Every structure is written in C-alpha cells, then in structure tokens.
Structure 1
C-alpha cells in the first residue's frame, strides 16, 4: 500500500472566491481535511474551504491548547505548543501511513506566517508533500486599498507587529514599503512605532481585506487599539508607488477626473429603501466610496464598483477626516447617516473637519437630507408633532447630563411636544427614568407618549402609552420617544387603533 500525500493548501485571505482552482480541486478530492482552530472550535480556514468540501470526508480538527491565555503546562507556552504540534503531526501521519491523502488548510499562504509550517517540518521528511500557494493578506490589503505597494526600486519589508515598539520603529526607518502583520494584540505599540519613525501619516490599517464580513480601511492613526481583530494588518506604500494617486471616479464622458473629488453627506432615512429620497439614492449611486458607521454602510446595497469603509460609532471625527482625505485624492465619497445627516449625525462633523484643515478648502461638501426618525415615528403614530416641538438627545456622551436636564426642563416648561433621541442604551439606563420624573413635574401623568422601535425594519413596533405608564426598562437605542404637549390627545381611527394628535391651534 502506498503512503498518502500531505498537501499544504493555501486558501487566500478570506474570500472563498480567492481560493485557487488547484486548491479547490484538491480540497474536494482529499480523503482527509485538517485545519487548526482555537478551543471555541470555529475555524476561519474551514469556513473559507467549506464551499469545496464534499461532506463525507474525514475532518481532523487540530485544536490549539492555548492561544493568548496563561497555561499551567510545565514547559510554559512553548512547551504546550511543542507538545501540541507533535501530537497533531502524529494524527496526520496515521492517515498518511494508511495511504490516505491529507489536505491541511492554511489561511493565506502555507509558507507565510502559517501554522502549516510546524506540520511541514515534522512530516515532509517522511512523506510526499505538495505545497499549494495562496494569495497573501498583503496582496489582498493592497488590492483593497487600490494602491500599489512597490514600484521600480521600492523595497518591501514584511514585519511582525510582535517585534515591539523600538525594534519595529528601527526597521521601519530603514525600509520603503512595509506590511506589518500580527498586529491585533500589540496595535498600541505598532501605532507608537509608526509615530516614532515619522511614518504614521503614510500608514493604512486594513481589516478583513477580502473576507465575507464588512471590510474596514482607515488611517492607521485613527484606529482604536482595543478594536483590532486577528485578521488585520498595516500597509505602507513605497516612495515610488506612493507617487501615484488613487484612481479618481470617471466623469460623465468616462474620463477620469484628476482634480479634487467631493463629499456628499447622505441621509438614508430611518429604515428601508422606501424612505430613501431620490436625491440621496442618486448621491449613493454616483459615489466611489461609502464611509460611515458600519451598520449604516451595510444598509446600502453592495455595488462592486464601490469601496465600503465601515467603522465604529465612536470615531466620528476620524471618519470625517478619512472621507475628506479620500476626496482630496480624487474620490467621490458618500458619508452615510441614518435618518437625516444634520440631526445628531455626520453633517456637522464633516463640515467642522473641512473647515478646520486648509488641505480640504477646495473640496465640495454637500448635505443630502433624509427623513428623520422623529418624522417616521410621528407619521406612524398620527401627528404628535403637529405643533411646535423640540428635538433632544438623552445621550450624555458628548454633553453633560446637567445640560440635558436644563434643556428638557425648558422644553417641558414651554409646553413643547418633545422628540427624544438616544433615550437609553445598555450602559445608560437611568437617564430616561430621570427625564420622565422631570417631565412629570410639568405635565399631566396622562400625557400621551409614543415609543417607536426599529421603525422602517421588519421589527418595527409603535406603542402609544402615557407619561405615567411609560416603562424606561422597555426602551433602548433602537427606540425614539415622543412626549406630547398639554394639548396632545389620543383619538381612534376606523380600525380602533390609537392615533396621537397635537392640534395646530393653541388655546388663547
């Protein structure tokens, strides 16, 4: 009986469509498919290869005994891993000795910072071994940026982010183009090293360069070290390659515009496409890049021509500067906001960033309005905002609670209807209760209150209650609350449903 063959199969950077034809063929034909994973059992490599599995193959799950946690192994981390690799190799050797071909999956390329190499060293001297190269994350990140890494005499250096701040800075000073891998656990040191050597402004952070989940591309200096996952890296282009601008969007005649691009701050409305204005749809369709809070970017239907840059909700200023910087390089950028961009959203942030930096003086910035959450909830409830009203946010992340309470008291004393944004979150549970107590000192307990949840989605729910019966525990960040004035009242339509009306006439 002939021995089996070990295939080290590179899967590329995450997109199953970037798996090579040869890799897909071998995965489908293998007797045994092996892959590494952490103790939670989920394997990125297997998820990439899943479309090519037959379903009846033997799967060898090689579970790491330790990743970042402390181990009680007598040999420490190194001893635990050495023991693991020996045991894993023995499991694969058993299959090979029985004549079964084994495909060992590797993210990226098998011989490029891959766990496959530990198996290769232990097995290749005894059994036939075939390496199937894969697209590396460095190539995928360069493609995601649409930016060449090297040209002419540029030199590319690949560095592990685990080197430490001082050594990393020294290496970066002595090279041109660079790709920094393994940054997730030490990004604070990576960012500090980039700053130390004067290269922070040249560096781009790329997360999930080609994975199925949303892609993130940011300036390296704008990234929160606490939010950096495993599948991420930093890219710096070489001097010659960096001399080429990012391709700009085509003009109406198909020619490329080499001048500054533009930024449109676009309101998506509170829900589905039915609440998107034609002007907003046109701005989204014309964009080269979409920038915004990741769940809002995800609401825009994918267009393969466009690049999507989703980010965390706590980096608004960095997001605005990133969008303006893209426009500076000739891109047409749509910065997306839920609802209306001028209501507790990105319009003021982008305009403020544009005014603060002379580099952006020549970039056109337009604000494209959208239907607000207050308008949507009011329409579904009837007409609770039919007279003068105040729009107010209960979030104290950007302003102190004392200011919120003072404004709320003034609105209540003025007998305005009040649309309350950001009424509660997982970490902010007391503010709405305090607001309700304050309002009860000015309003009758029977004042109508509307709670709109997830309006415009399949989970939409609109509840009509009273100030007395309002339960803050049932309200979260997916809700908007409207509190009526002294004149607001509830009527019933032909179906018996409650409709809230604030009359246009005021007594006296």
Structure 2
C-alpha cells in the first residue's frame, strides 16, 4: 500500500466528446494535476486529450500511452496489450512514488468500457485512487438522437459489436432496447444481426455524438465502409414511440380554470406552506394587493394583476372571470386568507349564479396572530378570540360591543388592524374599554412587521400601551386574567391551559 507521501491516482471521465459535457469536478482535477496521462493511437492523436485540452496547463507533465496495435485481429492482441498495460502502469507508478498526483483521462466513463480500468486494477492496491464518472457515449448518443432508450419497465442491453453474430442476434431479439458499441469493422456483422433479429428498421446509427463531427442516420442506410470505431447502434424505447403516438392522436386538453386563494403567511418564503408554494408555481395569473404580490418571486410565464387594498369585490370578480376563461388564478393574501382577508370576498362573489361553474379553493396560511404569539412565547395557550378594530366594514358600536364581551369572558384577544394614518383613536378607545375589565398589569404583546426586516416584538403592561406607537403593521395580543409574564421582566409570556375552578 502507498505511503502518505505517495501521489493519488485519478481516473477521470470526460464524457462523449463535447468539452462542455466535462463535469465540474473532472475539469478541476485535470487543471490541477501535475501529471496527465492519456491513451492514444500510434499516430499520436488522443480523443481524450482533445476533449480535455481546454482544461490543460502548459507546464503539466503529459504521459501518452500509445497503443501498439489498432485492431483485435492481431494474432496475439491480448498478450501484446497486456504487456503494454503493465509497462504503462509502471510509468505512472514512478510518478505516484515521487508524490505526484496522476490524472488518467478517459473519454466517456472510466468504468464503462474505459481504458482507465486497466490502470486501476493494476495500481489501486498500492496507491490511493478515485474514479470520477463521466457522461457515457450511450447517454450522449441517446441525447443526440433525441429519443429515450428506456421508459417505464423496459430493459436496456449494452452489447459490444465484437460478439459473434448469432449471439448478437439472439440478444437483440430478446431485449427491449439496446446499444451496440465498438462498431467500425464490426458494423456489417451488427447490421446483419439486427436484420436477423427483426429489428433493423428500428435501429439508429450515431457517430461521434456531441462533437462537431457527429452524424445521425437510420442504421439501414449507413455505408459500412464509412463507419468509425467511435459510433453506436441504438434500438431506442418502443414504449416511448407508443406513448408519443397516443399523445399525438389524443384530442387537445383544454385547461380547466380555477381560483385558488393562497395565504402567504405574515412575511417571507419561510412562512409559506409547501401547498401554497405549489399553487403559486402552478398559477397562470397572480391577483392581489400590490405589496402582497411583491412578496411572490417573479416568473415571466405568469401575469401579475396588482390592485388597491380597498377593491376586494372587484379583485374577486376579476379573478373569477380569468378562471372562467380557463386560467389558473392564485389570489394572494397576507397571513391566512380566511382571517380578515380575501377568501371571504372571493367566496361571496363566487356564490352568485354567474360563477357557479368556476371552482374556488382556499389554502391556509400562517396567521399574524400565530406569528406574533410565537415570538412572545404562548399567549394564545388557552381560549382566545380574534377581532379587527377597523370600522371601515362594520360600525364602531359593533366592535366595542364585541370587545367588551370578550373582555368580560376573560378571553385572550388578538387585535388585527388596530390603527392606521386615518384611524388614530380606536386603540385609545379600546384600551380604555379593556381597562374596565382587565388589570393594569395585564401583559400586552405588541408585534410589528413580524417576519419582516423591521420586526419588533415588545411586551408591555396594558396601562402602559402607547396608542401612538400602533399602526396597520402592528398586531396586539391582550392577555387574559391568567396570562403570565416571566418574573425576570423578559419578553416571554404564556397563558396556562388550565383555568382556575
């Protein structure tokens, strides 16, 4: 086994021919290697080196492993080639013993009919080795052909063209799909075997796949005298042809439109459920209040329709009209769409007879109350209610009555829409009303822009709540008589699940 000072041997797959199909790892190792070795023919040209050339450095040591013969028809081909494998392994071992890493270049994949494997089995027990896989010539040929080799449960058989003709014919007749490699002088025999197996009309010929010299043709039309060694015969997937034909014959499917009301959560992608993400990704149109639409990543395939926050009915009608025309529409809401948001507006409009054939779905989202509560601990740990202080859609007398009823019932109260630039007195009025039924020390969680860049969460006494610091981006959680704040005056509060008898 090698010492720690020995170099490391790398067998690096370079893919079928296009230098851009070299993996990032292969390119890095080739560029960094002190020694680069590659097999070549007697004329000195190496396909592997030509693929790797963009990644080579002028100062690298190159070891050309030149094949002594070019055909297995040589009388003692195996004996001659094995002697050279031994000699080449000794040359590489000298570099490794000197502490130099060696990268052996291999077109395609090193372990798929690759020449590197002969170095690997001779040196792996003595030195550290690593094999970097590459795109195989079979994969490259299939990609160039634009036809899958296998689909569903089909079986792919890879055969060398050097097999006896009867064996080739038997294997080709028995398999679903096939790739026959090592053509060149074996091409005539392979063609005869395909014909004998009744598969010649299905067969394709791919030469030098992914290179500038690539050629693709029906195999039956190829002149045997023009076939180089680096070519492949392919029998692509039969199932694919059948399913493609069925698709072509099938009537066009008209997309069914729908409206999906999607809760975005309080802020950011991390607060979005996978179900909501999938609905947004599938949508053709996104409809919503402008700032909420801005929270959905742009996709040029989709059309975005922003509108003001005060036109909920018009927005719902627009979304439903798009869906009636076959569009998949996502109506976005902050938080949960069913909590003071767009779900109710869409469903109310959708209940009109003219929209009866337009399906509407509602996907939940994390509510602002849940988000703020989580930042403070567990203030919603027992019975609670949710109220909006906005008097745009209901009169203040109704709001005040519900607020007083919740206070008398000793419920924790989550307050949405507490104030805005045009609504400045509601928080003061609510505070005054609550103090008639709650102690001055009642914990109040003041959460602003939770999940956003300006997040702020504070816990104050009800008596110390400052209405001027509350705006539309703020949510309040008013504790019950049982809500507790930790004794160290921290920002942690909770409401016990047990209520005193």
- TM-score computed with the length of structure 2 as normaliser: 0.49
Q: Give 1 or 2 for the bigger CA radius of gyration.
A: 2
